[in-house]
Structure 1
Amino acid sequence: MDERTRDEAVSRVQENYREHGDIDILLISPVFGGVTYYKRPRPFDTGWDYDELPPPEFIALTPTESDRKR
């Protein structure tokens, strides 16, 4: 996290997360250019074998898309 991230916006920081919530994982790479948005996270969805953690939601953006969302 950097100075733009508010701790109160991150539920895991305060441990007030929902039992069935997920973990958002932001992936930024120029490799995602030209790949349909919903297909980008597919390679990362396999092999998540952490029973103590909730399932991840992979958000895959190009650097340009990431800059526009800031």
Structure 2
Amino acid sequence: WICARLDDVHKDLRWTTKNVAQLLTNMLLRKTFNPTIQLILQKRKEEEAMVLAQNKDNKTRTSHAHQTPG
């Protein structure tokens, strides 16, 4: 019984994956989710830039701290 159940689940999973792929393809063809991807990438770039800026800032601060004689 469990094996049969797993088989069903597996079939379901495969179908879902195929379905999702089809959905994505349709979206791509319609180019509805192109702007979304661009938005996400833009946000990621901004976040990365912010993190980099913060790291630079921290490094500058620490190097100044090390230079100051105690």
TM over 0.5: no
Bigger relative contact order (CA 8 A; separation at least 6): 1
Whose helix fraction is larger, Structure 1's or Structure 2's? 2
More strand by proportion, 1 or 2?
1
TM-score range, shorter chain: under 0.3
TM-score by length of 1: 0.16
